[in-house]
Structure 1
Amino acid sequence: MTAHVADANVDPERLRRWRLVLGDAADSPCGKVTGTDATMDAALAALYDSTEASDGGRKRTGGLGGSAPRVARWLGDIREYFPSTVVQVMQADAIERLNLSRLLLEPEMLDAIEPDVHLVGTLLSLNRVMPAKSKDAARQVVRRVVEQLERRIAQKTRAAVTGALNRATRINRPRHSDIDWDRTIRANLQHYQPEYRTIVPERLVGYGRRTSSVQRDVVLCVDQSGSMAASVVYSGIFSAVLASMRSLRTSLVVFDTAVVDLTPELHDPVEVLFGTQLGGGTDINRAIGYCQGLITRPRDSIFVLISDLYEGGVRAEMLRRVSSLVSAGVQVVVLLALSDEGAPAYDRQNAAALAALGVPAFACTPDAFPDLMAAAIERRDLQAFAEQFADR
C-alpha cells in the first residue's frame, strides 16, 4: 500500500478514509488527522483499539474505560460525526466487545444513545437488574423505538388484515346491495349469451355485511430466549396493532421455561415489552399447552408460534399439540424469526417435523408480516407463501 500512497496522484479523500480505517499506525503512509477527523479517529480508536477488546495478542491503546460519563460523551461524539446506521453498528460493537451492558443502566448514557431494535432488546434483557433511577430513561428509549416502528407497520397491517377479513367473509347469496359485480361477472363468464350479448349469472358473489363482531381469534406465542430479542420487540408491537382492531381478538403469550400472558397489557406496547424477560431456557410444549386453552373457536383461530424451535420440554408432546391444533382447524403459523436479520440458528429436526404436519417454519421480516397475516386469515396455502417469500 505504501507504494500507492507515494504516488502524487492519489486522491486525498481516499487517503483520509484509509487513515480513519487503519488508525494511527497509518500516520506515515496516509498522513496525520486533524480537527474533526481527529475527533472521529479518537471515537473509532476508543472502540476498535481498546485495551478491553479482544486483540489477538496485539498491543492496543485507548479504550472507553469504566466510566459511564466517559461512555456517554463517546456516544455523543459518534452521533455527531457518523450517520445513524453507522452509530447503531458501533453501539452494538461496543456492547459486544467491551461488555458495556452494565453501563447501559446509567441514565446519562441512555440519554446519549441512538435507539434501535437491538438496543431495546439489550435494555429488556437488563430489565430485572435495572435500578429505579434508570427505568424512566430506559422506557423513554424503548418508547421512541416503538413509536418509530408503529409508524412503519401499523397502517399496512390494518389495511392487509381488513382486506383479508372482507375477502374471507364474501358470500354467495348476497343481498342486491351487497353484490360484488366485478367478481360476479368474472365468475360467470362461461355463461355469456351471445344472442342477448349479456351474461346470465348462475352464482352471485358479494361481501358479508359489515359487522363489529370478532371475526378471528389471533394468538401470538413468542419465545423470549436471548437469541429472539428482535422478534420479541416486533411481536409486541404487532400484537398491540392487531389488538386495536375490533374484528380480531388478539392474545400475546411469551415464554421461556415459564409462560406469561401479556394480553392485558396490549393497550401499551411499551408495557408489553417491559413485561418480557429475555433469556432463560425454552419449554415450547408448555407454552403451546397454555395457548390451546385460549382457543375456543378453532376454525376461526390463527396460532402464530415465533421460536427458533430449540425445545427444552417434551418434544413428542409438543408435536402432538401442534398436530391437534391443525386437525381441529386452527391455522398454525411457525416463524423462526420476526426480524430483518433473516433466519437464526434453529432446530432443523423440529422444523422438518412441523413441515410434515403441514406447518412450514420460516423466517419473516416485519414488512412481510401483514401479508402473512392476510394469507392466514384467508386460509391460503402457507407453504406456498413461505416458498414465495424465500424467493424474494
Structure 2
Amino acid sequence: MRRWRLVLGGGPADGTGWALEGADAQMDAALAALYDQDGAAGTGDGGRPDRREGGLGASAPRVARWLGDIRRYFPSTVVQVMQKDAIERLNLTRLLLEPEMLEAVEPDVHLVGTLLALNKVMPDQARESARAVVRTVVAELERRLAQRTRAAVSGALDRSARTYRPKRVADIDWDRTIRANLRNYLPEKNTVVPSRLVGHARRRRAMQREVVLCVDQSGSMASSVVYASVFGAALASMRALKTSLVVFDTAVADLTDRLHDPVELLFGTQLGGGTDINRAVAYSQGLITRPTDSIFVLISDLYEGGVREEMLRRIAAMAQAGVQVIVLLALSDEGAPFYDHENAAALAAMGVPAFACTPDAFPELMAAAIERRDVGRWAEQRTPAP
C-alpha cells in the first residue's frame, strides 16, 4: 500500500488510505514536484487517479534543491530516470547552462548527450562544469568497457593469425588441425594422424586491420555517439589497428586526431541537424586503403536525408571489395531503436547485417569481425532483434 500511495500521489480518489510520514513524506514531495500538476495527482476519466504527471517549476534554486532531494531518497539509477524526465518532459534544458545546476546533477550518458546538444550555446562559466560532468561519465565508461575491448580485440587478432608450423603445443589450434587431417583417420587406432599442424601465429607488430567508425550525430543518436567515442579511443590505443572516427549530420567531420582524448572528441561533435549518410560513407571509403583487412562500422538509424540509392551502392561496393561492413542501428542500452526499416532490409538483402548492439556486447562484436566470423549470425545469437 505504501508503494501504491507513492505511485498514485495521494488524494481521496487513490483508494489506498495510506498516510506517509518522515522520509516517505519527503520522497513523496520530491515525486510530486516533478510528476504532479500544481502539487496534486492528475485524475483520468471517472475520477480515478492517473499516474503522476505535471510540472516542476523552472526556478533554478528550487530545481537545485530538488536534485539534491532525489539523490538523497532514490538510488542513482532512479535519479537518472527522474533527471531525464525533468529535462525532456518539462523543458528544463536551459537550467543546465548554469554551473550550480551541473554540480547538482547525477552524471549519466543521457545527461552527456543533452550537454553536447547544448554545447554551442553554453556560456563560458558553465562550460568547465559541463566538461567535468562529461569527464566523469567517460571515465566510468572507460573503466567498464575499454579494457574489455582491448582484451577481446587482442585475442581476436592473435586467433586470426594462422601458422602451419606452430612452435609450441599451446599454439596448436586443435579444432582446425583435426578438420584439416580428417582424411588421415585410422579406424583401427580410432585416431587422426596429422600430416600438418594448424596453429595460432604470434601477433605481428605491424598494423593488421583498418577500422573506420562512422557515427550519425543526429539528436536521436546521442547515446550512441558517447559510447562510440569511448570505444574509438580504446581501439585507437592499439598499435595493430589503424582506427578512424568520422561523425556526420549533413556535413562530415573527421575526429580521428582527437581519439587520444574522448572528452575533447565529444565536444567536437555537434548533435542535432539533418542526416546525409551517403556523404559520410563516401568520405569513409577514402580512408580505406586495404579493403580485405578493413572493418567499416556505420552507426546510424538509417534515416537518410541524402541520396539513398547512391548510399546503398557505395556500401555494396565496399562489401564486394572485401571490407567487413557492419551497420549498428544503435550502440546503447536504450532498448529497441527507431530506424528506417526499408534501408535496413535493403542492406540485409546485400548481405550487410544491420542490428542494434549494447555497449557490453560491442567488444565481442569487434572480435567476431576481426576473425571474419559471420557477424549477422553472431548478432542473432547474442543481441536482441531490432
- Does TM-score exceed 0.5, indicating one fold? yes
1:137 partner amino acid? S
Residue in 2 that maps onto 1:318: 311
1:230 corresponds, among 202, 223, 227, to: 223
2:97 paired with 1:96: no
Structure 1 position 385, deviation (Å) = 1.6
Structure 1 position 374, deviation (Å) = 1.1
Residue in 1 that maps onto 2:7: 21
CA distance in 1, matches of 2:343, 2:229: 25
**1:237-284 CA distance string (max 9 Å, x none):** 110111111111111000000101111001111111111111100000
Q: SS at the partner of 1:30?
A: coil
Q: Map 1:26-65 onto structure 2 (within 5 A).
A: 26=12, 30-51=17-38, 63-65=55-57
Give the 3 Å change call, closer, same or farther, for CA 86–198 of structure 1 in structure 2. closer
Q: Map 1:1-392 onto structure 2 (within 5 A).
A: 14=1, 16-26=2-12, 30-51=17-38, 63-174=55-166, 179-180=171-172, 182-183=174-175, 186-187=178-179, 188=181, 190-193=183-186, 200-390=193-383
Larger mean CA deviation between 133-142 and 199-208 belongs to 199-208
Give the 3 Å change call, closer, same or farther, for CA 277–153 of structure 1 in structure 2. same
Larger mean CA deviation between 214-223 and 172-181 belongs to 172-181
1:309 partner amino acid? L
Q: SS at the partner of 1:343?
A: coil
Give the 3 Å change call, closer, same or farther, for CA 186–18 of structure 1 in structure 2. same
**1:299-348 CA distance string (max 9 Å, x none):** 01000000000100011110111011011100000010001123321111
Structure 1 position 223, deviation (Å) = 0.3
CA distance in 2, matches of 1:281, 1:338: 19
Larger mean CA deviation between 24-33 and 65-74 belongs to 24-33
CA distance in 1, matches of 2:312, 2:306: 11
Q: Is the 8 A contact 1:343 1:363 kept in 2?
A: yes
1:134 partner amino acid? A
2:337 partner amino acid? P
CA distance in 2, matches of 1:351, 1:374: 23
Gaps of at least 5 residues in structure 1 are 1-13
Give the 3 Å change call, closer, same or farther, for CA 85–217 of structure 1 in structure 2. same
Q: Is the 8 A contact 2:166 2:199 kept in 1?
A: yes
Q: Is the 8 A contact 1:18 1:30 kept in 2?
A: no
Structure 1 position 232, deviation (Å) = 0.7
Q: Is the 8 A contact 1:179 1:204 kept in 2?
A: no
Structure 1 position 387, deviation (Å) = 1.9
What CA RMSD, in Å, does the superposition of the two structures yield over aligned residues? 2.7
Structure 1 position 191, deviation (Å) = 2.4
**1:124-162 CA distance string (max 9 Å, x none):** 111111111111111111111111111111222112111
1:49 partner amino acid? D
Q: SS at the partner of 2:244?
A: strand
2:152 partner amino acid? A
Q: SS at the partner of 1:250?
A: strand
Matched length: 378
2:281 partner amino acid? I
Structure 1 position 178, deviation (Å) = 8.5
Q: Is the 8 A contact 1:283 1:311 kept in 2?
A: yes
**1:41-85 CA distance string (max 9 Å, x none):** 211111011459997999x99953222222111000000011111
**1:369-390 CA distance string (max 9 Å, x none):** 1111111111111221222234
Larger mean CA deviation between 60-69 and 81-90 belongs to 60-69
Q: Is the 8 A contact 1:54 1:97 kept in 2?
A: no
Q: Is the 8 A contact 1:178 1:209 kept in 2?
A: no
Q: SS at the partner of 1:221?
A: strand
Gaps of at least 5 residues in structure 2 are none
Residue in 2 that maps onto 1:3: none
